[in-house]
Amino acid sequence: ALLKDNSPWLRCRIVGEGPERSRLESLSADLGLEGSVLFHDFFPGPSIYGLMKSATVFALPSVREGFGAVVLEANCCGVPVVTIDHPDNAARHLIVQGQNGYLAGADATSLAKALNLALVRAPLMNPRAVAERTGHLRDWSEIASAVLHAVSGNRPSRFGTPGSKRRREEIVSDS
């Protein structure tokens, strides 16, 4: 609502069927934003990426977020992200301020300012390049290898030690 006066063309898309949906629909109506806020049901599989790629900015206004894989997904789609700078929001660690998105305070005014800044600067940003440069983009085999190494350490395990030549078939046959 704080962005509507200066950006009447702006549209906000809220995707999902979570527990806050009905409250957000009511709030949107109360604020007179029916034509500006669009609600979408869950998008299965990769179809969500088309919607992400059509966005100018991705907002994740959560104070409590786990890893925040959706931040990387948006950045991979070339879309900067605005999220909340809060100790319980791990997604904030994925943002390089002004390069792949912005951090905002947990209040409406701060969020609106960060969103406005991201909207203005989005054409100048390259979020995917930032995610690649900072090492946040990895392929699954690299991630699985790192997790296996971290979990197993140097202790022998059912899966062998890092660098072990035991094959998967041998591990499965041990079961």
Q: Tell me the per-residue pLDDT of 38-54, one tens digit each, with 9 for 90 and over.
A: 999 988 888 899 999 99
Three-state SS for 147?
Answer: helix
CB atoms near residue 9 (< 10 Å): 6
What's the CA gap between 3 and 53, in Å, rounded?
Answer: 21
Q: Output the pLDDT for position 154.
A: 46
What's the CA gap between 115 and 109, in Å, rounded?
Answer: 10
Decide if pLDDT at 173 tops 50.
Answer: no
Its pTM surpasses 0.85: no
- 111 and 84 in contact (C-beta within 8 Å)? yes
Which tokens is 135 given? Answer: 């090492």
- The pLDDT tens digits for 135-165 are 776 666 766 666 676 677 644 444 444 444 4
Decide if pLDDT at 174 tops 90.
Answer: no
Place of tokens 């925040």: 68
Q: Specify the pairing of strand 37-40 against strand 12-15.
A: parallel
Least confident of 11-15, 76-80, 107-111, 127-131: 127-131
Alpha helical stretches, state H, the chain: 21-30, 47-53, 69-76, 108-121, 127-133, 140-152, 168-174
